Amino acid sequence: MREALAGLTLRGRAFVAAGVTAVVCAVLLGQPALTRVGVLVLALPLLTAAYVGRNRYRLALVRTVSPQLVTAGQPARVGLTMTNQGRTPHAVLLVEEQLPYVLGTRPRFVLDGIGQGWRREVSYQVRSDVRGRYDVGPMTVRVSDPFGLVELGRSFQTSVPLTVTPRVVPLPPINLGGGSSGSGDNRPRAFAHGSAEDVTVREYRRGDDLRRVHWLSSARTGELMVRREEQPWQARATLFIDNRAGSHRGQGVASSLETAVVAAASIAAHLGRRGFAVRLVTAAGEDAAAAWHVRDATLDTGPILESLAVLQPLRATHLDTGWLREQGQGGLVIAVLGDLTQADLPVLRRMHHGADAGLAVALDVAAWGTGVPTAPGASGAAVLSRQGWRSVGLGPRDRLDAAWQDLGRSRATAPRPHGATSGPGTGIRTGGGTGATTRGGPS
C-alpha cells in the first residue's frame, strides 16, 4: 500500500487534495452534502491505490536481437514478446526500453486489454554509427489503473548484448610479398604427402592442429612435436594496430584512432577472404580472443572484428614486445600505426626482422590535430620505409582503398644502420630518401 500511495500520479494527488479540501470546507461551512462529495473524491484514489498495490503481476518477457553482430551503420531489429502468466487482468501497461544513447531514442509502447493468457509481440529497430558492445535493455513497465490515478513501476533485469563492429571498406587485391611462414608466396599452400620414411617433425607452434602431434618424438624430446609432411601450411598474417592514446588525435568517429580501427578491420576482412590465418596484436600485446583466426563460411574474421569493436585507447607510452618473443613468428606482418616516437623504432625493426614481409599503413596524425599534413620526407611512412617496411601514408581526407592500392605499388628502401639519424622530423630523427608512398592533406 505504501508503494501504491507513492505511485500516485498528478491526477491522483489532485483528487486527494480536492477531497481533503472539500471535507474541510464542508465541516467549516456546515454542508453535509459537500462532505459526501469530498469523501467520494478522496476515497477514489485511495481505493485505486489499494487495489493496484494488492495485485500480484506475473509478466514474462522474451527479448531477441537479430542479428547480434552488425556493422556500424547497419540496423538490427529487437523483438519483444510479453505474456501475462497470472490471473489478474491489467488495465494499461506503459512499456519503455532502456537503450544507450548511440542506439537511438528509447522506444515506448502502450499496451491495454491485458487479461489471463494475454500475449503481445512488438518490435523496433536500432542502429549505431559508433562501434562498440551495447546492452539492449532492461525494460521498465509502468502499470496504470483505468482512471490514471496510480502508476507502479516494474523492471525486467535481463538485457541482450549487441556488438557493432567497425565499418569494413572493400580493398583491391595487391601483391602482399610474402605470407606463408618461411615462404615468399602470399597464398596458402600445403606440404605434399610423403611416405612414412619421409616423416619430419618440428616444434609445435601456436595454431597447429593437435591431430598432427607426433607422440613418439614428443615423448623423446619432452616437447610437443608435429609432423611436417602432414601439417597444412597455412598462410599467416599478423595484424598490428597501435591504439595508444598518445599516438592519435581527434575525438569520436572523426579521430585518427577510429580511422586506424576501420583500416585494421578492412585489412583483416581482406586477408580472411584471401585465406590467411590472421591474429590481432595491439599496443598491449596479442589479443587472445583473436589469435590465428581462419575465415569460416559465415563471417570473415569474426573474432577479430569483435575485438576491434571494443578496442579502447591505452594510456601506455611504450609498445608491448612480449608477443615478439614467440619462436617462429614469420609470416606476413601488416601494421596500422599512429604517431611514432624514437623509442618505437627498435620495436618496429624487431617486428619487421621476424616477418617474411612487412607492410605498414602510417596515419598522418598531425593532419588530424592541426589540419596541416606532415612534410613527405618526415612522415611516418617515410620513416618506416627507411626501416625496410613497404609503407603508405593515410590522411583524414584519403580513401583507404586508394591508399591500399598505393601500398601494393610501394617499395621499401634499404634499412639504414641502427642509430644513423639526421634531418628534421616529427619527434624522430631520420635521414635519407623516402621510397614510400605518402598521402595526406587536402585532396
**What does pLDDT average to in each consecutive run of 10 residues of the chain (443 residues)?**
79 92 91 90 89 75 94 95 77 86 91 79 94 94 82 86 96 75 41 44 79 87 76 75 95 93 96 89 85 52 88 93 71 94 93 90 90 72 91 94 93 56 42 45 38
235 DSSP 8-state letter? B
Same domain, 322 and 345: yes
Does a structural domain hold residue 249? Answer: yes
Which CATH number belongs to the domain containing residue 117 in this structure? 2.60.40.10
285 belongs to a structural domain: yes
Same domain, 391 and 243: yes
The answer on 298 and 391 residing in a single domain is yes
Q: Is residue 381 part of a domain?
A: yes
Give how many domains the chain has, as a whole number.
4
248 and 123 share one domain: no
Residue 48 identity: T
Q: Is 183 a domain residue?
A: no
Q: Do 30 and 77 have their domain in common?
A: no
- DSSP, collapsed to helix, strand or coil, labels residue 191 as coil
The amino acid at 221: T
Residue 431 counted as domain residue: no
Residues 114 and 262 in one domain: no
Rounded Cα distance, 349 and 274, in Å: 27
Alpha carbon 265 to its chain centroid, in Å, reads: 10
What DSSP character marks residue 106? P
Indicate if 270 and 345 belong to the same structural domain.
yes
DSSP letters spanning 236-253: EEEEEE--BGGG----GG
Are residues 210 and 244 located together in one domain of the fold?
no
Instruction: List the domain range (segments joined by +) for residue 93.
Output: 59-165
* Sequence letter at residue 236: R
| pLDDT one-digit tens code per residue, 174-210 | 988 744 443 334 444 443 344 333 457 888 877 777 8
CA–CA dist 307, 302 (Å, integer): 9
Statement to judge: residues 49 and 74 lie in one domain = no
| Predicted pLDDT at 301 | 52
242 and 221 in a common domain: no
Q: Which three-class secondary structure state does DSSP give residue 208?
A: coil
Residues 271 and 401 in one domain: yes
In a domain, 437, yes or no: no
Q: What residues pair up with 231 in beta bridges, in sequence order? A: none
**CA pair distance 135, 297, nearest whole angstrom:** 27
In a domain? residue 133: yes
User: C-alpha cell of 147?
Assistant: 482512471
C-beta of residue 205 within 8 angstroms of C-beta of residue 289 = no
- Measured CA to CA, the distance from residue 116 to residue 129 in angstroms comes to 42
Looking at this protein, which amino acid is placed at residue 142?
R
Q: Do 108 and 48 reside in the same domain of the chain?
A: no
Q: Please confirm whether the linkage preceding 138 is cis (ω < 30° from 0).
A: yes
pLDDT at 129: 94
**DSSP-H helix ranges across 179-255:** 215-221
Q: What pLDDT is stored for residue 402 in this prediction?
A: 96
Whichever domain contains 277, its CATH number is 3.40.50
Asked, for residue 180, whether it belongs to a domain, the answer is: no
- The single-letter DSSP state of residue 383 is H
CA distances from 4 to 16, 50, 90, 143, 146 (A): 14, 7, 15, 11, 15
